[in-house]
């Protein structure tokens, strides 16, 4: 029987979607395995797809998270669930649209968010494209987020400690409305317990890396191998030279550790002039940000009458905010160490209103 066609402009209850076709991203890890299992349980016609993203270089550095191992684990999950499994090589696109972007942003003195850009530029569009070619209505992933309302809108997951709406907020909303997040109403503890009970994933399965193409999480090594040493100066807010460094790409605004120079009190990186290989340091007050200007704005829904909050880091707290159209978010409470290049997400309650990439910041006390 062909997959049932679903009206994606409204929320769809599980019983309405019984028989609908869905392509689920399978990494072989706990979260994607649980997402696939729940979809099978709810009566969807499920196909698993493993996207090959990381280059072989990363596989050689960390074989447990390498291409062959990822495919093996994902296929084992698909076999246990009795679903079809595809492997799609997306490494060239990933290298051009994510890895190159990551390096170029650091080279320019900005701090990129590769996971957010991968979701927006590679992962979701490719999954939707594959699903459409197979006449499947939906895609699904193991992210902790929800789609609520009508039309469906990106919303925080119930497990606030694991919520991933922030790294999804730059994805085109039309793609998200074709997406199911089966784990959105679950906690990580619940997912782990159920996966263990069902024996879906072997105990040795490796959790996702923070930056998948840098398995050892040493992004400075990754950048150093590409750019080599680029000596420059450390200066204070007056322009006085207070030290030297081996590459401005080793620093990010807000950084407090490993600066290489001491002060009367704690010092922070408060500015980067990459074109001059110059790193500016200052005290905590200099690192406090009161407003950000964003570009590449993705609008999810109009803001209502409720209070807004802004989240400017994937693991950072959201703070009360207001918009200053067309492209500025003003923070009601200063945040320390916010850097150009990072993702800014504006929420009303738990729903995403808009997202974008921080182009510039304004000091809180200026």
Does residue 91 have a pLDDT over 60?
yes
pLDDT band at 211 (very low <50, low <70, confident <90, very high): confident
User: Quick one: pLDDT at residue 336?
Assistant: 93
Rounded Cα–Cα distance for residues 48 and 50 (Å) = 7
Residues labelled as active-site residues: 118, 212
User: Which residues, in sequence order, are bridge partners of residue 322?
Assistant: 330
Alpha-carbon distance of 98 to 112, in angstroms, equals 10
> CATH code for 21-198?
3.40.50.620
The pTM for the full model equals 0.93
Confidence of residue 270 (pLDDT cuts 50, 70, 90): very high
Is the distance from CB of 156 to CB of 184 less than 8 angstroms? no
Surface-to-core class of residue 318, CB atoms within 10 Å of its CB (0-12 exposed, 13-18 middle, 19+ buried): middle
Q: How confident is the model at residue 207 (pLDDT cuts 50, 70, 90)?
A: low
Mean pLDDT score, 40-66: 81
DSSP three-state, residue 289: strand
Whether pLDDT at 315 is above 90: no
* pLDDT value at residue 10: 45
pLDDT digits 0-9 by tens, 215-242: 888 999 999 999 999 999 999 999 999 9
Q: Give the three-class secondary structure for 93.
A: helix
Just give the CATH number of 229-282: 2.30.30.280
Instruction: Give per-residue burial for 193-215: e unless 16+ CB within 10 Å, then b.
Output: ebbeeeebbeeebbeeeebbbbb
Tens of pLDDT, residues 94-149: 999 999 999 999 999 999 999 999 999 999 999 999 999 999 999 999 999 999 99
Of all residues in the chain, what percent carry a pLDDT higher than 70?
90
- Residue 335 has φ and ψ, to the nearest 5°, of -120, 145
> Domain 286-363 carries which CATH code?
2.40.30.10
Residue 244 scores a pLDDT above 90? yes
Which position has the higher pLDDT, 293 or 209?
Answer: 293
Instruction: Sketch the domain layout of the chain as residue ranges.
Output: 21-198, 229-282, 286-363
- Assess contact for 290 and 337: CB atoms under 8 A: no
The phi, psi pair for 320, rounded to 5°, reads -55, 140
């Amino acid at each position: 029987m062909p997959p049932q066609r679903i009206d994606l402009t409204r929320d769809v209850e599980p019983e309405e979607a019984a028989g609908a076709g869905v392509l689920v991203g399978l990494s072989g890890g706990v979260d994607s395995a649980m997402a696939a299992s729940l979809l099978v349980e709810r009566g969807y016609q499920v196909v698993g797809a493993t996207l090959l993203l990381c280059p072989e270089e990363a596989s050689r550095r960390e074989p447990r998270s390498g291409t062959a191992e990822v495919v093996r684990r994902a296929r084992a999950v698909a076999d246990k669930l009795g679903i079809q499994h595809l492997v799609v090589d997306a490494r060239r696109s990933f290298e051009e649209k994510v890895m190159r972007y990551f390096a170029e942003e650091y080279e320019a003195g900005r701090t990129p968010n590769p996971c957010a850009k991968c979701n927006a530029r590679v992962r979701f569009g490719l999954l939707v494209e594959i699903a459409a070619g197979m006449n499947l209505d939906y895609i699904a992933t193991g992210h902790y987020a929800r789609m609520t309302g009508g039309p469906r809108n990106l919303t925080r997951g119930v497990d606030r400690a694991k919520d991933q709406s922030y790294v999804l907020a730059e994805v085109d909303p039309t793609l998200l409305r074709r997406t199911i997040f089966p784990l959105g109403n679950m906690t990580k503890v619940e997912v782990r317990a159920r996966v263990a009970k069902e024996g879906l994933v072997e105990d040795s399965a490796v959790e996702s890396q923070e930056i998948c193409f840098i398995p050892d999480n040493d992004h400075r090594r990754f950048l150093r191998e590409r750019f080599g040493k680029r000596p420059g100066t450390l200066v204070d807010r007056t322009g006085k030279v207070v030290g030297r460094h081996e590459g401005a790409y080793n620093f990010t605004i807000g950084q407090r550790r490993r600066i290489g120079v001491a002060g009367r009190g704690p010092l922070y990186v408060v500015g980067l002039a990459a074109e001059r290989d110059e790193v500016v340091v200052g005290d905590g007050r200099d690192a406090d940000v009161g407003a950000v200007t964003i570009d590449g704005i993705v609008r999810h829904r109009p803001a209502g009458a409720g209070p807004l909050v802004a989240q400017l880091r994937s693991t950072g707290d959201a703070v009360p905010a207001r918009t200053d159209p067309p492209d500025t978010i003003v923070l009601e409470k200063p945040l320390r160490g916010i850097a150009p290049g990072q993702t800014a997400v504006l929420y009303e309650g738990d729903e995403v209103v808009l997202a974008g990439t921080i182009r510039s910041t304004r000091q809180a006390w200026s």
